[in-house]
Structure 1
């Protein structure tokens, strides 16, 4: 019976650990040099209500303090950058949906985060695979004028395509976040042009976009959505000098990561079913133990 007790205890601990891990995020220290290239929108125009229903703000829990942007891609799934996700744990942040204003007051819906899935091959040194999926604690009622998902792009975006980028970042380096969602019209560049204008390497899973004059992403816009032809094409990775001097901003390309993204879109029913299965497995293990002890 001693062997049975030991086996059951190990099994129960393993199952409990698996259940608890569903609600944990990740936290890694990031390099201060790359933090200095963290973006916000510079020289953007105000968005109107319901214009970008997929846009979300990632804020410090219990506040309206902006950390990053993101895009709603499922009823309870948000796509953002790995860099942004690594700034804290799931318990440190909340997601604000349904409002062009950076506010936790109605009509904003403030949602807790259950799980953070950071891309397993993310590399801070070059921002390779700079993507993360946030699993929300509550399913969103999508299809509303103010809350809806954005379609993931499946194919490469054409050069010179006109796209929109949105976020609440300020229009100056290290400035305050905007109270109202900003938008900027950007043009897709070739990798060759991007490398030439940036003066640095661009990764194979990245695309670049540039705006007219100083209009571009800037400080605290990371994780925000670049949408071309109505499809989510990129997630902001980084930007230099807030787009000044015609510097392009750099994005993780969604089409190259679509399979990974879709594999991490877990609906609430799946999470609840997994939790139920864990409980049933634990009860079965306990029943087996008591039967063997009798």
Structure 2
């Protein structure tokens, strides 16, 4: 009997760790989140705008009165016009429900009192130190579906590659469309820093037998006034270059971290700045660069939160945990097994 209980306990632990989404042909598929799955998730919106507007950003509650998001979100929230910071009083924060359209309950809405952008933030094209803190006029009230995630311990070293994490957020189904109303999530894998660089990923069209020019024909010449790429011959196919969107410095320092891209026309794409990346129940990153629902395969790049924990603590007064106090999944797993064995031996032997 004791063995049966132990096996059931292990099965329940294993089942809770299984991801709900899949990956098809290298493309991440987003799944709908349950209402209490990401209680720290918030939507940063403009007052007067539609809750599902494409100008919204993601964010994460690091306390009941502080939201962590990107600085670029607070400078680029408007659909058109200059990229000046928007007034704090025009920012509202939605939390406590997976359906972004449920804004009538006052418990789910707070207005920003102020926000603090990192003093060394650089916008386009560098996007360095892309991080900001919003302070709310009134703290949220903690419930089962609304809780702060807290800060990670300070670290100057990037997490190990191949670590499995979760990215959550309200996402559009396609470029330039409004957000889907239900919160979604996907499992992501961290990339090594050497893989973080944004590089051209769209291959040139392949030459098929049907495309082969007739024997004896001349290759197509370069149009007048244009110079063929160095080292190429007339008629050579060249890869389609995807423009680099920011300086390489942004992806080669401990201030950022990367995952593989997400493009899925049926379930959404991680387009919103500020969406949180969580690994082993710890806040690891906030999204500041994605493919914006386009077909390119650029990596998704996040501001690495652990690098900024001391600055965040200075601004907010939130305590930064020590490295020794962080949650260790492997240790917790072994502890649970040991507890199950003790209980079963006590009552079933």
Q: What's the CA shift string for 1:58-87, capped at 9, x where partnerless?
A: 111144244101000012000000001224
**RMSD across aligned positions (CA):** 2.5
Q: Any conservation in 2 of the 1:122–1:129 contact (CA below 8 Å)?
A: yes
Q: Any conservation in 1 of the 2:198–2:299 contact (CA below 8 Å)?
A: no
Which residue is equivalent to 2:178? 176
Which residue is equivalent to 2:131? 131
Q: Any conservation in 2 of the 1:126–1:203 contact (CA below 8 Å)?
A: no
Of 241, 256, 278, the residue aligned with 2:307 is 256
Matches within 5 A, 1:1-294: 43-63=29-49, 64-66=51-53, 67-87=56-76, 88-103=86-101, 104-106=103-105, 109-124=108-123, 125-142=125-142, 144-154=143-153, 155=155, 156-195=158-197, 197=199, 200=244, 201=248, 202-204=251-253, 205-210=255-260, 214=264, 217-219=269-271, 221-242=272-293, 244=295, 246-266=297-317
- Going from structure 1 to structure 2, the CA distance change for 1:120 and 1:93 (only over 3 Å counts) comes to same
Q: What secondary structure does 1:186 align onto? A: strand
Q: Between Structure 1 and Structure 2, which shows a larger proportion of helix residues?
A: 1
Q: Any conservation in 2 of the 1:96–1:108 contact (CA below 8 Å)?
A: no
Q: What secondary structure does 2:197 align onto? A: helix
Q: Measure the CA separation in 2 of the matches of 1:246 and 1:258.
A: 30
- Going from structure 1 to structure 2, the CA distance change for 1:122 and 1:196 (only over 3 Å counts) comes to closer
Q: Measure the CA separation in 2 of the matches of 1:80 and 1:211.
A: 20
- Going from structure 1 to structure 2, the CA distance change for 1:211 and 1:164 (only over 3 Å counts) comes to farther
- Going from structure 1 to structure 2, the CA distance change for 1:62 and 1:245 (only over 3 Å counts) comes to closer
Q: What secondary structure does 2:308 align onto? A: helix
Cα offset, 1:152, TM superposition: 2.0
- Going from structure 1 to structure 2, the CA distance change for 1:107 and 1:210 (only over 3 Å counts) comes to farther
How many residues are aligned here? 225
- Going from structure 1 to structure 2, the CA distance change for 1:196 and 1:94 (only over 3 Å counts) comes to closer
Q: Measure the CA separation in 2 of the matches of 1:196 and 1:239.
A: 10
Q: Measure the CA separation in 2 of the matches of 1:198 and 1:242.
A: 16
Cα offset, 1:107, TM superposition: 7.7
Q: Any conservation in 1 of the 2:163–2:189 contact (CA below 8 Å)?
A: yes
Q: What's the CA shift string for 1:135-162, capped at 9, x where partnerless?
A: 00001223x2111111322243221111
Q: Any conservation in 2 of the 1:164–1:183 contact (CA below 8 Å)?
A: yes
Q: What secondary structure does 1:57 align onto? A: strand
Cα offset, 1:100, TM superposition: 0.4
Q: Measure the CA separation in 1 of the matches of 2:298 and 2:258.
A: 10
TM-score by length of 1: 0.70
Question: Unpaired runs of 5+ in structure 1?
Answer: 1-40, 268-294
Q: Between Structure 1 and Structure 2, which shows a larger proportion of strand residues?
A: 1
Q: Measure the CA separation in 1 of the matches of 2:296 and 2:28.
A: 12
- Going from structure 1 to structure 2, the CA distance change for 1:175 and 1:151 (only over 3 Å counts) comes to same
Q: Measure the CA separation in 2 of the matches of 1:47 and 1:94.
A: 22
Q: What's the CA shift string for 1:268-293, capped at 9, x where partnerless?
A: xxxxxxxxxxxxxxxxxxxxxxxxxx
Cα offset, 1:245, TM superposition: 5.1
- Going from structure 1 to structure 2, the CA distance change for 1:42 and 1:178 (only over 3 Å counts) comes to farther
Cα offset, 1:194, TM superposition: 2.1
Q: Measure the CA separation in 2 of the matches of 1:129 and 1:78.
A: 16
Q: Measure the CA separation in 2 of the matches of 1:183 and 1:198.
A: 27
